[in-house]
Structure 1
């Protein structure tokens, strides 16, 4: 929804005859998103949420290696766009390793292909990818839509780190940044103190959190676990009989063997429940009112620790004397979040 100032600006440009029709006006009112992902099962659901939101226009999807290999990530994004009938959205191939050239996958959770090991023989081919590199596309889109794009990063931050290294003004051209990653209580899901996206590229995460000046909202691992959904809700969600619901159910079956039925999972997430991690960051970008509280403080990432490499550090005592602060989300309107998920499978 446009605020008062935006509506006033819209009336001015309408009166000058700049807007040709209602379609063009509608595009001005929509939130512009650019999604950077390592498309595993939760990324797929998060993308579906964004595509279903009537107030959102997804300008493009950039791919980075993480949950699975880069080729698989690209294929998975195209599969999601196919089921959502949105293959018109451009998809770009990005970095196939961390900033330091390291590789870390999450096949034990997402499957070898990143999407539950349920291949689609009619899946779109990689020939549908744009030729332009993801990092170049990020910079070009941010320049074209200066201060209008919300970048949603739901994978390792390698592409974003490279973008700011190639164009130091890149962060200033963004309206906002939403990240799923890191942690706020030193709880890990990949190492003792590290969340997967940050552990997969600690240097990339460090560069981003210390170089981006735009408003930055972070949905951490502990936050997503705190607002897990009941398995009863999940069952009714994936059994609606729609094509999208069937897709989610099929591609999530593999990860459920780990998250729902593994006795050790309680040590990771506490009480049983469904944790669609990446969807929390997308929900915040779609509807800011889904955020009910946050911690505003400087943040950074540990890159050297033996046990803490990749851990996000919240500087609540201003020890680092950083001017830029992040909004570390710690409160969610769960009913609004459920509504966004419900809409994604209609």
Structure 2
């Protein structure tokens, strides 16, 4: 399989960090750049976490560009209550001596796309502020990219930050609305991650048992601790979900996708109960163009195997043909 060249746009904390590690470990993916957007935790922590994740996977030479420090219009609210102080489970506080790349992240996205037309995949696992700003700078961005994969929204299911909305789309709904309107997006939504990327205690214990022999398993166990505690207290379940790492997994092995559909998608940017709500017209009753690819089901066992191959053995492609 040809190598996929990827820009990862992230608000690095928790699962974002693991998504970067998994992508960096895969031979099928070449990370061209990482761009940082305001989201999960404080901006400086996000930058540090991205650099540390790359360094852990022996990819510290990948340029990290700092981007938008706040949403387009809304006030910025973070999620340390889920990811722990600093974003790595509340216990890790790594010291990373890697300078950020020169330039503003949205400009870097545009410049890389212009330099490599039709060759780059944009992997978006953060609020979409950087991508929206890149679109404002280059309205033809869609034609310059090979593909755009977005973790965001909640398709006909409960959100994870309000009953109506998923965190990434809720943080910057104006950006999400623009991106799904102007770019040919493949959408990985919150509902999919709950259905097909939830790890229960048995899987989590297996990863923890491998921590002594694998720095990646040790890292995952540390950063997942805060999320496990949150899920136990909020939902009474000892589980984690892997929304951002699922995107990495599908880019490594797209054959994991079992069912998908193409629909008109819109995002409610208005303040109020439905801020960040993802409207997916599965019934075809609106006038909007059906141009967003929505992944509806993936091979959960296959994804878990790929994930464990990466975290335990350092090779996410170990079981792939």
User: What is the 5 A alignment of 1:292-307?
Assistant: 292-304=258-270, 306-307=272-273
Contact kept in structure 2, 1:70 and 1:95, CA below 8 Å:
no
Asked if 1:279 is matched to 2:250, the reply is no
Aligned mates of 2:290, 2:43 — CA distance in 1: 32
Asked if 1:248 is matched to 2:248, the reply is no
TM-score (norm 2): 0.92
Q: Residue 32 of structure 1 aligns to a residue in which SS?
A: strand
Asked if 1:179 is matched to 2:150, the reply is yes
Q: 1:257 aligns with which of 229, 237, 242?
A: 229
Report the number of matched residues.
309
Asked if 1:232 is matched to 2:202, the reply is yes
Partner of 2:319: none
Q: 1:75 aligns with which of 48, 52, 58?
A: 48
Partner of 1:337: 303
Contact kept in structure 2, 1:186 and 1:311, CA below 8 Å:
no
Contact kept in structure 2, 1:49 and 1:340, CA below 8 Å:
no
Partner of 2:83: 110
CA apart distance, 1:280: 1.4
In angstroms, what is the RMSD of aligned CA positions? 1.6
Q: Residue 303 of structure 1 aligns to a residue in which SS?
A: coil
Q: Residue 40 of structure 1 aligns to a residue in which SS?
A: coil
Aligned mates of 1:236, 1:172 — CA distance in 2: 43
Aligned mates of 2:62, 2:27 — CA distance in 1: 15
Aligned mates of 1:169, 1:332 — CA distance in 2: 31
Q: Residue 240 of structure 2 aligns to a residue in which SS?
A: coil
Structure number with greater Rg is: 1
User: What is the 5 A alignment of 1:96-135?
Assistant: 96-121=69-94, 123-125=95-97, 128-135=99-106
Structure 1: stretches of 5+ with no match in the other structure: 2-28
User: Deviations for 1:41-100, whole angstroms, at most 9, x for unmatched residues?
Assistant: 100111111111111111111000100121111010011112112101110001001011
User: Deviations for 1:317-344, whole angstroms, at most 9, x for unmatched residues?
Assistant: 3344333511211111123212321232
Partner of 1:325: 291
Partner of 2:119: 148
Aligned mates of 1:247, 1:131 — CA distance in 2: 28
Aligned mates of 2:271, 2:215 — CA distance in 1: 46
